[in-house]
Structure formats: C-alpha cells, structure tokens
Amino acid sequence: MRSLIYTLFFCPIFTALAAPSNFYEVTRDVDWESELLGRSEEAGLVPRARTEKSIDAIFKSLGKLYFGTCADSGSLGKADNADVIKADFGQVTPENSGKWDTVEATQGKFNFAGLDTLVNWAQTNNKLVRGHTTVWYSQLPSWVSAIKDKATLTAVIEKHVTTEISRYAGKVLQWDVVNEMFDESGGLRVSVFSSVLGEDFVRIAFEAARKADPAAKLFINDYNTVEKGSTYAKTTGMISHVKKWVDAGVPIDGIGAQAHLMAGEAKNVAASLAALCAVVSQCALTEVDIVNAAPAEYVEVAKACVDIANCVGVTVWGVRDPDSWRASNNPLLFNSAYATKPAYAALVQTIGAMTPAATKAV
C-alpha cells in the first residue's frame, strides 16, 4: 500500500518540482475526487454523511413557520435535490413557474402546469408554499406592457391575480402579490403599472388577491431593502409607502426582504429588517443568498429573523451552489455534491442554541 501511495501521489509531485510550470498545467483541471476515490459528480457522488439537524426544524422550534428554499418542476425532478428539500426545508417558493410570462404569456390563456407540479409536490411532502409572484415589471409579456388604458390595465390585473391566486386557495401560505416596485430612491419604479395607474395598482392587486384567497397572507416583496442599512432611501421609501397603504385599508399583510447580499452586508440586516417589520403584521427574508456564504454572515442574517417576533421565516434562493442564479459566487448552503457547507453547520449550532423572540400575533 505504501508503495502504491508513493507511486500515485508523491511521484507526480517530485516530478513537478523539476518542472513547476508543467505541473500547474497538468494538475489544475484534475478532478481529485474522481482520481483518488474513483468517482465523480457525473457518476453520482454519494452525499457525505449528515450529522446536523434540520434548520427548518430548529426554526419551527423557535416559533417560526419555516426555513425554505425555491424550486420548480425541473429542480424537483432531480432526486438528490428533492431529497435535500424534503430533509432540510419546510417551504418551497416557485422560482419562475408563478411569474406572469409563464402563467399568462397570451392574454386569457393560462398555463399552470409548472406551478401545479410544485404545489402538488409540496402538499404530498407536507411542505408550505410561498406564491411568487403575480404583479412584477419583469418577466412580463409584451401584451401587458403595451396597455395604455387605465380601465383595461385594471381589468387585466384583477383577472390575472384572481385567476392565479384563487386556483391555489387554501394551498398557499403567502403570496408576493407585488414584486420589486420601488426604485433605489424609494419612489415607484417606472413600469407599465405605475405609468398607467400610478400607485393605485398596488391597491387593485392586493384587493383582488384578498378576494381570491382570504386566508393567504399577502406580501409586497423587494430587494435592497435590508442590504444597505435602515436609513437607505429604498428601505425608508418602502416603509413610508407601505405604512400609508396599510393605514388606508390596502390589505397588505407582510413585507418580504429578498436579501441577495454581497459579502460584508449581513451586518446591515438586523436593523433594516426590524424597521420593515414594524409597519406590517408579518415579515420574512424571502430570497436569501450571500456571496461566498460565510458562516458568520448566514448566522447574522438568520438571527435577525429569529430576534423579530413577527418575522415568520427565511427562504434561501436555491439548494446548491451550481444551481444558483449567482453560481459563480457560491452563495448557498449546499455544495455541488449536495453536502452541507460550513454555513449550514454554523446555523444549526448557533440558531439551535437560541430561544424564541417575544410573542407577537401574526
């Protein structure tokens, strides 16, 4: 055995020392797991043994509703991915199957195949669902963007929201009714909705959603609301607008903070989230990923929710790094082999030692 190890491992190194430039060229693309263990991800890596508890179970023990992730029929069709969601997450959010260009690409013709798959899978596997998203300026069909008439756009919003949300009445816990409607100054983002209807499109969408499913919690969701600090213009703009709308009777139950963080931004989350949560009955971190996934930063973000009584849960935006929309930044809790990364273990150890925040009705 000793001679075999010498031959396989040390000989190439000694040879390389004589020609270092060649060594780099030869070894930089070597799949060492395949070479030394005789296996590769493509051949079906067996995920490493798990010793950690489920972070979802820990979150629920602290009075939260879920620790979730995003999914769609494609990711649920991957056995390893589905198995990790079953074991580690308590809620799924449709990554794309609930968006307007998928659900109603042609006016009046609805396609719920992908969203049906996700909701049915969630029910079968005892998972909660966050609906995402009915009214959003992006991934919007051109026929909607072309509407110029107030009455027409109002009717289109009402029909789209009503048709989508009523289909899953009683099956979806929360809906991102309006998504990413603010600009970085805290005012309304320019879109067909704000250009034709002004801010009244928010009332129209939320009232339709409430009628479609009175039991669902209705959220407004946006990014750069916790990333930059509690005094950032977008954060304060969202707070002032949502407070005004809630006071006027618009049925907004919650604020969703996406939290797509750059490294070093986690320190801003606690104060920002607390300010957002103070103006609604529920709040949540809805699309969390952190560049380089530093354990301390994931803990800081999750702890911010745990410490706020009406923060009901955290959703990370994907299961494993290669499938993230920010794949090159390795921002998630699982690596390419579906093994937990240090950030997951840090969450289990740190959040698992916490006690529930003071009770507040949600």
**Which residues are catalytic, by number?**
180, 287
- Cβ partners under 8 Å of residue 24, min gap 6: none
Enter the tokens of residue 287: 């699309």
- Cβ partners under 8 Å of residue 252, min gap 6: 202, 206, 218, 219, 220, 242, 245, 246, 280
Query: Which sign does the torsion angle of CA 118, 157, 288, 279 carry?
Result: negative
163 and 170 Cβ atoms separated by less than 8 Å: no
282 and 251 Cβ atoms separated by less than 8 Å: no
**Nearest CA-CA partner of 136 in 179, 95, 103:** 179
For the beta carbon of residue 120, count every other beta carbon within 10 angstroms: 13
**Nearest CA-CA partner of 301 in 227, 223, 237, 239:** 227
338 and 320 Cβ atoms separated by less than 8 Å: yes
Enter the tokens of residue 349: 């150890």
